[in-house]
Amino acid sequence: MSPSHLFSRVAKWASRAAGRPPVFTLALLVVLVWILTGPLFGFSDTWQLVINTGTTIVTFLMVFLIQNAQNRDTEAIQLKLDELIRATRGAHNALLDLEELEERELDVFRARYVALARSARKLGGEETDRGTPEVNDSD
């Protein structure tokens, strides 16, 4: 098993587990135990350092898990949107895989759709505002 495949499996498992009520309950119990042990340790600097270090480590690792989950979700959504564009009659196949374009290229597409939206709003919701009007290809 490759390291990236192993990471992917562990990240999926951990991100699913982290969002469940038992994990929240466990985290809450850890905090409660830490609070209750405060008087035992005289609310010392070491006592405070334990929770600060623990939460910092968990937060640091969770950033990577959350980013991995968001990347996976975003990629799946983009693929689904690409399929909807591909399968819809009258849709512009040039919109497939837009997320791979440079910012300048995206701005060209955005300007075309902003112009289309302005034109549609001028119609005031009339029947002619419906359908699939062509996007102006002039730059």
**pLDDT tens, residue by residue, 52-103:** 999 999 999 999 999 999 999 999 999 999 999 999 988 889 899 998 999 9
Please indicate, yes or no, whether residues 13 and 81 belong to a single structural domain of this protein.
yes
Number of domains in the chain: 2
Q: 61 and 7 share a domain?
A: yes
Are residues 90 and 105 part of one domain? Answer: no
Rounded to whole angstroms, the Cα distance separating 106 from 99 reads: 8
| Dist CA 17 CA 62 (whole Å) | 12
pLDDT tens per residue across span 36-58? 999 999 999 999 999 999 999 99
Q: Give pLDDT, residue 135.
A: 65
Q: Provide the pLDDT for residue 22.
A: 95
Full DSSP string of 22-74: HHHHHHHHHHHHHHHHTTTTTT-HHHHHHHHHHHHHHHHHHHHHHHHHHHHHH
Same domain, 59 and 89: yes
Domain region containing 39:
3-95
Q: 54 and 85: one domain?
A: yes
Q: Strand, coil or helix: what is 123?
A: coil
**Are 89 and 110 members of one domain?**
no
- Across the chain, what does the average pLDDT equal? 88
Task: Tell me what percent of the residues of the chain surpass a pLDDT of 90.
Answer: 63
Q: How far is CA 80 from CA 22, 84, 87, 90, in A?
A: 32, 6, 11, 17
Q: Are residues 113 and 67 in the same domain?
A: no
